Amino acid sequence: MVDNSLPYKKIIHIDMDCFYAAVEMRENPHLFGKPIAVGGNSENRRGVLCTCNYEARKYGVRSAMPTFLALQKCPDLIVLPVRFDLYREVSQQVNEIYQRYTELIEPLSLDEAYLDVSHQKRYASIIAKEIRNTILKETGLSASAGIAASKFLAKIASDWNKPDGQLTIQPSEQEEFLKELPISKIWGVGKVTANRLYNRGIQTCGDIQKKTKEELVYDFGSLGIELWQLSRGIDNRPVNNKRPRKSLSNERTYPHDFKKIEGCIEQIPELFSELEKDLLKKDLEVDKPWKVFIKLKFEDFSTTTAESILTEPISAKPFYPLLETAWSRGKNRGVRLIGLGIRFQEEWSKIPSTQMELFESL
């Protein structure tokens, strides 16, 4: 359980409701009430959606869904191109609202952020509602919020009463809330891990609480430590307004599948050039690069990633052997998407002290 000797933090997680789509509807009121999505490519149907509005979700359309599949589910879906410059502008406007309440702001993306308002004497739930009302008044967009004593629970809470709602998890309610919380709500638990947990009779955080650290680490490795911690509400990570990036990547879906590796090879220089430009941006805070990786999505939508430790200055050179490795896994399947990326060094000292203690106690 949470260490009661420590004062509780007041963490707010703000999540803008279907942000990109909401901005587009604001810019074009004629889109209200119609199913729309942002991203993808409505002409060749090979792209992937960034997001969609709630009207589209009624048809089963979801973020990261291939455009062709979204159009099958919703033939009247309006697919709009991405306008990141506009979204960044609106995101900055929202961030300026956050700054009226706290300096401790940790953006996770253009449409969500953590705020630490522990220094405020008012209830965090009142502050969250005030922020949401201000965002609506000044931008015309709605946001949802989660309020809790930790980032983990605040993020879960912000998704509870979407859209345009909020949920507060009081410290006194945390234990009961966690007992019934589905394991799928824990970050790092995807479909594969969830199935492994289900096969062991674990459905909720309450079920995880019945397991020892040793059992969880034996079954799930380092993830077992996180499962043990989070199922008990242990999350002492601070809201970090200078959080370094852990990775940098770019990817592209092509109009036609590449049936031969030579076609993929020809794309590496341009993809790396785009990656290098992002890497050289002055406002990008990164540690020393550690690994490079390449991602391929095949014609059947299966995906593979190959990576290696970087032993020389960053260049396009190490991506070519990685491409060969990833290509060989395709077994003659065409490639529809190629992505390049860099993972940055994470020093042992950056692990929270509570997590360090758990490592050392095993």
For the chain, give the mean pLDDT: 86
pLDDT score at 196: 87
Residues 136 and 204 in one domain: no
Residues 68 and 96 in one domain: no
Amino acid type, 235: D
Q: Is residue 230 scored above 70 in pLDDT?
A: yes
CA distances from 216 to 209, 288, 348, 360 (A): 10, 32, 21, 15
Residue 89 sits in a domain whose CATH number is: 3.30.70.270
Lowest mean pLDDT, pick from 61-70, 113-122, 176-185, 187-196? 187-196
Lowest mean pLDDT, pick from 14-23, 135-144, 229-238? 229-238
Residues 257 and 335 in one domain: yes
Reported as half-sphere exposure (CB side, CA atoms, 13 A), residue 99 has a value of: 7
Lowest mean pLDDT, pick from 130-144, 214-228, 329-343? 214-228
Query: Of 171, 199, 224, which one is at a domain's C-terminal end?
Result: 171
Give all strands (DSSP E) within the chain, no chain letters.
11-16, 36-39, 49-52, 78-80, 105-109, 112-116, 143-148, 166-168, 247-258, 289-298, 303-309, 335-344
Query: Residue 321 has which token pair?
Result: 């052997």
Backbone angles phi, psi at 186, to 5 degrees: -85, 130
Lowest mean pLDDT, pick from 126-140, 269-283, 309-323? 269-283
Q: What is the mean pLDDT of residues 338-360?
A: 54
Residues 258 and 207 in one domain: no
Considering the domain boundaries, does residue 237 fall inside one? no
| Total-model pTM | 0.73
Rg (the chain; Cα; Å): 22
pLDDT score at 344: 83
Considering the domain boundaries, does residue 2 fall inside one? no
Q: Is residue 46 scored above 80 in pLDDT?
A: no
The one-character DSSP state at 248 is E
pLDDT score at 222: 82
Residues 163 and 99 in one domain: yes
Considering the domain boundaries, does residue 360 fall inside one? no
pLDDT score at 296: 95
Residues 277 and 188 in one domain: no
Residues 258 and 334 in one domain: yes
Stated as kind and residue range, the H or E segment containing 179 is helix 171-179
Residues 148 and 202 in one domain: no
Q: Is residue 358 scored above 90 in pLDDT?
A: no
Q: What is the mean pLDDT of residues 208-231?
A: 88
Q: If pLDDT is split at 50, 70 and 90, which confidence band does 285 have?
A: low
CA angle, residues 16, 22, 27, in degrees to nearest 5: 135
The total number of structural domains that make up the chain: 4
Residues 77 and 132 in one domain: no
Query: Of 153, 171, 189, which one is at a domain's C-terminal end?
Result: 171
Greater confidence, 281 or 298?
298
Query: Of 142, 171, 200, which one is at a domain's C-terminal end?
Result: 171
Q: If pLDDT is split at 50, 70 and 90, which confidence band does 1 have?
A: very low
Considering the domain boundaries, does residue 264 fall inside one? yes
Residues 257 and 306 in one domain: yes
Residues 166 and 197 in one domain: no
Give all strands (DSSP E) within 122-163, no chain letters.
143-148
Q: Which domain holds residue 157?
A: 11-17+85-171
Considering the domain boundaries, does residue 279 fall inside one? yes
Q: For residue range 238-272, what is the model confidence (pLDDT) as tens digits? A: 998 876 677 888 888 888 899 999 999 999 999 99
Considering the domain boundaries, does residue 113 fall inside one? yes
Active-site annotation, residues: 112
Residue 74 sits in a domain whose CATH number is: 3.40.1170.60
Residue 193 sits in a domain whose CATH number is: 1.10.150.20
Greater confidence, 16 or 184?
16
Considering the domain boundaries, does residue 354 fall inside one? no
Residue 192's contacts (CB-CB under 8 Å, 6 or more residues apart) are: none
Q: For residue range 99-150, what is the model confidence (pLDDT) as tens digits? A: 999 999 999 889 999 999 999 999 999 999 999 999 999 999 999 999 999 9
Residue from 335, 344, 327, 322 nearest 278 by CA = 344
Considering the domain boundaries, does residue 77 fall inside one? yes
Residues 219 and 152 in one domain: no
Greater confidence, 133 or 232?
133
Q: If pLDDT is split at 50, 70 and 90, which confidence band does 42 have?
A: low
Q: Rounded to a whole number, what is the largest CA-CA distance in the chain?
A: 63
